[in-house]
Amino acid sequence: MLHLDSCTGLKTFEISCPYCSAPLTAGSRLKWEGMLTWSECRCASCRKEFDYALPVAHAARFPVYRSPGQKVESAAELQWLVQAWNNSEASPLSLEYQGQASSKILRVFNCLDPCYGHALLRLLQVFPWLQHPEYDVLVLAPARLQWFIPESVKQRLLVHGPMKALAGEIQGLSGWMDAHLASHPHWQWDTLPLNFDYERLSLEPFLGAEYQIPKAEAATLVIHWRKDRFWMQSRAGEALAWCYYKYRWSWLQSWLEAQQLRNFKNLVRKVRQQVPGLSVYLVGMGKPKMLHWAIDERAESPDAETEKQWCRRYAQAGLVVGIHGSHMLLPSLLSQGIVELLPDWKINHWGEDVLFLKKDLEKRTRCRMVPTRSSTQRVTAHVLALLKWWPLWYDEKKPGKAHLGA
């Protein structure tokens, strides 16, 4: 068991030496280096000295450690994190502190992660703690996600720079944290578990009144664009999309984007044959174009207002369609339903990008997963099932009448 003194804000948790499996004792100093926070350890059995990552988020399930002068090691299931940390290169990052210290117990949420979805899921776990006035909250987060941090969070440390640079050590972070926590005699860190119960999540601190918008009378479809994953309708096309994603074959991008745009255009055309009043919005990261079949609200570098505008679209949408990925977390949370195109090479991650607030039949039946090799006809069938036919069977507000966009 690794025991860290509670007066310094650290919990007690059970871990064993990664070399001999003996119980561990810990040093008193922490190293806040980024998405991983290290504790100095020394094994009384094998005498080895090493750093052990605090069990936060993914490191809580798979122990992460490093010997002096050596690279980070972990279980095989966490190789993506180990490789990202070991292969990270120093990038220009800057720290910005917003807020003011108080005498309350400080709870620290380390939401730094190079993956947008991972950082977002960590941030969502801050929301329930805002209902506890006896605590003050300090959030460490990428500056790109500052728009999602509720105003009621009184202390925040934002890291400015590219998200991918958050994979490794952030220069100056540990010194800043040591100095800041020295003024708080009592503080705690949150483990940010992977199996957090999102059912009890309240988004009121973030959404507020601006998202309590009546649903549009006409059906609304939002297409979420992702510029590094594509809807290809053949095995060969999906293989090319995987090669582009894996090896960054930039010469393929324009062709893949053209194919995907054509597929979405055909999807909208077929749906509108059954739903003439359909409103369509195209959102996500990409260069906007003048389209006659959709309102293109994409942005190459979205700012806070753009991100919030997209959230408003989700909240008003009868349905959101998109490729599997972390960009589907908020659409699944805010919209009335999603149709997600899932590549074969992401089957192991099925459902990881879907969030529910309630365990109800309605939400579960309005989230569909279909293969990315699906034809336009098949995807159209799922879209129509949710936009047009689903309300006939489940909408009790208007029995016997399809309530489009309900």
The residues, any chain, with a CB within 8 Å of residue 367's CB and separated by 6 or more, are 332, 337, 338, 340, 354
Encoding tokens for residue 187? 């503080």
Strands 220-225 and 187-189: unpaired
pLDDT of residue 5: 37
Give the start-to-end residue ranges of the domains of the chain: 2-86, 94-193, 210-394
pLDDT of residue 111: 95
Please give the helix or strand (H or E) that residue 65 lies within, else none. Answer: strand 64-66
**Residue of 64, 7, 71, 76 lying closest to 39 (CA atoms):** 64
pLDDT of residue 154: 87
Q: Which amino acid is at 39?
A: S
Encoding tokens for residue 338? 């999603």
**Per-residue confidence in pLDDT tens, the chain, 406 aa:** 343 433 344 455 667 788 888 887 665 678 899 999 988 888 888 888 888 888 888 887 788 888 887 888 886 667 888 888 888 876 779 999 999 888 889 999 999 999 999 999 999 889 888 888 899 999 999 999 999 898 889 899 999 999 989 998 899 999 999 999 988 888 888 888 877 776 666 666 556 555 554 454 458 999 999 988 999 998 899 899 999 988 888 899 999 999 999 999 999 999 999 998 899 999 999 999 999 999 999 999 999 889 989 998 998 888 999 999 999 999 988 888 899 999 998 998 888 888 865 555 566 778 899 999 999 999 999 999 988 876 665 555 554 444 444 3
Q: How far apart are CA 160 and CA 95, in angstroms?
A: 6
Q: Which amino acid is at 282?
A: L
**CATH classification (class only), 210-394:** alpha beta
pLDDT of residue 47: 86
**Integer CA distances (angstroms), 101 to 48, 132, 172, 185, 221, in order:** 38, 17, 20, 12, 44
Backbone angles phi, psi at 50, to 5 degrees: -165, 170
Three-state SS at 50 = strand
Torsion-angle region of 9 (φ positive above 0: left; ψ -120 to 50: alpha; else: beta): left
pLDDT of residue 190: 86
Q: How far apart are CA 59 and CA 80, in angstroms?
A: 12
List helix spans (H) across 248-293: 253-274
Q: How far apart are CA 14 and CA 24, in angstroms?
A: 8
